[in-house]
A and B are shown apart, each in its own frame.
Chain A
Amino acid sequence: GESVGLHLPTLSVQEGDNSIINCAYSNSASDYFIWYKQESGKGPQFIIDIRSNMDKRQGQRVTVLLNKTVKHLSLQIAATQPGDSAVYFCAENMAGSSNTGKLIFGQGTTLQVKP
């Protein structure tokens, strides 16, 4: 069935190090992927997105990599800061449903940044 999953429930990194958060998806028909950051008691905040016709996209301190062959998505955060501590969700949107807002979210990875 359809599922989006994250490999590790919690990731602990040292401040200043790079972080890599992984996500596996099972629906090969998905054509749009988004990473969200959610801080405690708040709504999800858009970080970066990528379409299936790309394999890499960079933002400010963040990079998303998409490997369609193994259906794997990753979020790289450079020089991780304490403010990056949050739960990170990947979400996928199936081809043909890109206009419905019907995203499928993973369970989330908690990123803990140690000072």
Chain B
Amino acid sequence: GAVVSQHPSRVICKSGTSVKIECRSLDFQATTMFWYRQFPKQSLMLMATSNEGSKATYEQGVEKDKFLINHASLTLSTLTVTSAHPEDSSFYICSVWGENSYEQYFGPGTRLTVT
């Protein structure tokens, strides 16, 4: 069964609104979770590392005030895209390491379309 879930799977929003995406680790506790973004025909770009109980670590070029990350529990991280614009339309995927950090498990992804 699924190890990581994401909700929603698809969302369409109007420009200027905010959208929250949830990522849940179903099988084990995750002190660290990762958020990726993938544009069409491109690879996964790591946006940020979500740390339970502390601030997220953002990759270079990712605006922390635009992509708000909250990791309030060991099984849930949320990504909020604030004041979304059409260029934020993308496939957002979260992931967690397995318990031995041998394999990274990915959520099913969230397709965001900003109109």
Q: A and B bound?
A: no
Using a CB–CB cutoff of 8 Å, the interface residues on chain B facing chain A are none
Using a CB–CB cutoff of 8 Å, the interface residues on chain A facing chain B are none
